[in-house]
Structure 1
Amino acid sequence: MNHIHHCNEPDKKFLNKITFLDSRQREQLIPPEDLISQMPIQKNHTLLDVGAGTGFFTIPMAESTSNKVYAMDPDERMLGVIENKAAEKGLINIELIQDYIENLNIQHNSVDFVMASLILHEVSSLTKALSNIFEVIKTGGHLLCLEYEKDDLIIEGPPMSIRIGSEELEKVLTLTGFEIVKKTKINESIYTVLAVKK
């Protein structure tokens, strides 16, 4: 006899989140492949996607290097989505880490490029999160942050109270020891900051 599996509320919420992460964001941002192709990523680089979600950036990152890509997210189910996508594409270079950026525990000076896409406004301490990222990045390695601008005219996105304005982010990055390479406005509400560890 077949059992019909009913979707309970948390599952429905999770599925909605996946739908959001995979579609709405995809429309809002420039295509992830385009963004990744513009980054200083080489074929032998070790990469890290913090707050990887559904693998929106993890998958194209894994396709751009023959080395390891760490996909970090506190939600085990999100990592399951990435695992399935990787299997579909035959990617075997992704290592899943279930944790928060504040607990980032990868070998120091071992990563060439870190992607932090729409995640920094969710951390409990921006300084701690960026310091952890700084420690794992090699000298000469890059960090790309993608965030919502803190501007009252921009309704879309997370609550204004938790957003990180681009100037504030640049300041904290600089204080952490990063050097700002460039700042780009992707659209009305989203900006990127590319920083390097000198």
Structure 2
Amino acid sequence: MTDRRFDPSKMAKLDNPERRKALPPEKILSQLGIQANDAVLDLGAGTGYFTLPAAKMTAGKVYALDVEPQMLEVLRERVSEQQSDNVDLVKGAIEDIPMDNEVVNQVIASFVLHEVEPLSKGLQEIRRVLQSGGRCLCLEWEKKAMEQGPPLNHRIHSDEMKKAFEDIGFTVTSLSFPTESHYIMIAQK
């Protein structure tokens, strides 16, 4: 585990009432425009904060990728409890997504791109697995000092993130700030 990776012993932070109030997953996912049969990839799926709501929005496959076996095991239990039969768990890193080219319509990258080294490799992988016209929702911490979240030197300013997506060939179609600490960027292939 690099010093940038989320510590799985802190997974309770991923799904708490304060986070749900500030960043409601269904409302955020509505910006992605998931269609009835879309295939969706949730990068750094963790405990399923976005995976499980996405699975209710599509009859297509929802791939939940995480590098941490501990996270995938918790998510496996949650998927079973909710009887989400369209979720596939995938162990792997964002820098080397173990999936074929152009297999998903939508990608969710929630609070994970600041962990990717180098960022350009992760974005190339997202572009590779996305079908033409596919979209990526990037939810990240703005690069400003605050008590919560990753260290300031790990954060990526929204302007830098936009440029990084564009440098890989994406078109950034929207940028919003749901809180003073976070931004949501939608990038289209």
SS of the residue 1:103 aligns to: coil
Give the Cα–Cα distance (whole angstroms) in 2 for the partners of residues 157 and 28 of structure 1: 17
In structure 1, distance between residues paired with 2:156 and 2:31 = 24
Corresponding pairs, count: 183
Are the equivalent residues in 2 in contact too, given 1:46–1:67 (CA < 8 A)? yes
Alignment counterpart, residue 57 of structure 1, candidates 47, 50, 62: 50
1:151 aligns with 2:137: no
CA RMSD of the aligned region, Å? 1.5
Give the unaligned 5+ runs of structure 2.
1-6
Q: Which amino acid aligns with 2:26?
A: E
- After TM superposition, the runs of 4+ consecutive aligned structure 1 residues lying more than 4 A away are none
The reply on whether 1:126 has 2:111 as its aligned counterpart is: no
- The structure whose RCO (Cα within 8 Å, separation 6+) is larger is 2
8 Å CA contact 2:92–2:98 kept in 1: the answer is no
Quick check: 124-133 or 82-91, which moved more?
Answer: 82-91
Report the structure number with the largest CA radius of gyration: 1
Name the residue aligned to 1:48.
41
Selected match of 2:91 from 80, 98, 114: 98
Which residue of 16, 19, 23 maps to 1:26?
A: 19
For structure 1, list consecutive stretches of 5 or more residues without a partner in the other structure.
1-12
- Contact kept, 8 Å, 1:26 with 1:32, in 2: the verdict is no
Q: Structure 2 matches for 1:1-198, cutoff 5 A?
A: 14=8, 16-23=9-16, 26-27=19-20, 29-152=22-145, 154-197=146-189
Instruction: Using the TM superposition, give the Cα deviation of residue 83 of structure 1 relative to its aligned residue in structure 2, in angstroms.
Output: 1.1
> Percent sequence identity over matched residues?
40
Quote the residue 2:3 is aligned against: none
Alpha-carbon distance, 1:123 to partner = 1.1
Cα distance between partner residues in 1 of 2:148 and 2:21: 10
Q: Which residue of 2 aligns with 1:8?
A: none
TM-score (norm 2): 0.92
